[in-house]
Structure 1
């Protein structure tokens, strides 16, 4: 039981709802547009996506630890200038690098198996899954290390691998094709998910700077990075409104756009204190999931009224 708790922390299993959200929304959107809901294919899609998500979390910790980024954050944490959110099992000795590597290999193997089974019905799944794997792996892994190159590449990576690809992929598995509506629906959801990572950077941006990890906060500084965060929140709401106007979501989905308001209010109060940035991350994740829940419910209501 203790080992399971350790692996739950190592994989950051608490973040799984961030991946569940786009997969469910993509599948429900396909059903609402008239495609029969394939429960077996949906469960395979969900299991594969969740395994890949957990594997990506482990890979991220392995390469951040070996690059010394987390060690820098650990040192600054004692000074109250950073917060280490990954690699804790490595620092405490409760898990080894070899165990980390075996774990991410196992998780990606599960994701690959799900993809292979799904490809019997939906051959393009392997292309979508392969793209997601490469993006998740090379987010911090050499030679690309997109997060370290920075300049928005890391955020674009997260947008694609944790927003666009899972939603569009889940839609494709159900419908057998990819529609413009699926891509449009993925834009605000992907951006909302990207903001989880974006606000996470504030927790350890000084350590990132020392490790030459060029995150937006490192490049812009705290104040301008907060301003950009506010702009991205506004863009998220705007994309939801545009989707409503284009008919992707029903008119009452406009409520989902309002979920950015609590995040913005917490962002305004965040002024350099780590506790405030933790609250900002928590609020963003809660609002993100609430927005997707509202969108899913709206699609279900529209779907059932058209039966």
Structure 2
């Protein structure tokens, strides 16, 4: 099978990689995480994407927003790292605290591997669905992380983000202008927020990776349209996947649909192979490109795309 999964409208399901400059941004820079400090945040400038301008109406003052009620995103406090029982199998990178980057070679599976991938993907989807039910004004992303963490370990799996290159939490929660890989903290969700929840579980030696974007309370029509078009482009990209199809057709499909509605595509983040390793070849670009490579039978990879 060619693997790609989605449950709800989502913005992005990638983790690291900057194909445009032929280098991978270190996680320490990407997340701006210092283990000796109490605060961490995903570092994205306001010029990085027009998503901020869409949600915050191009205000010069970073603290101003159109309705005058919500301030732009600021990191909250980080809670201590949550423990994982010793009997649960850990991915190799957890011991080293080093981000392994994208492994060479595609993730192609035999029948047993396919069964394991289905199981890990199924659990990730169940966790994601439940996490989405928690989204409401007043809940903190750290509280969502706590529930996700417990549900994953209760099912005998390891939360893949925890310890990946020093990442301190078990799920990525990206609110509003945070494009992806936001770190759960003490900030309460506010009415009108949108939040992407990115869940990956490591079960029986295989990673299952999925994400979705959820609405918190009364969300603006602009934000709803952004998520709608993003979901549509994702569905279109998934529909063309089959053995022998060129990977570059994914980027063209996504980019073409975005163009119809006047949206751009964030190019700095990518999809990736997933399976026995968290991030593997191929690097899946979400915009028009001339990269080579074709899909093969029983290969698994993620497709993620973000709009601006």
Higher strand share: 2
Give TM-score scaled by structure 2 length.
Answer: 0.33
Give TM-score scaled by structure 1 length.
Answer: 0.33
Higher helix share: 1
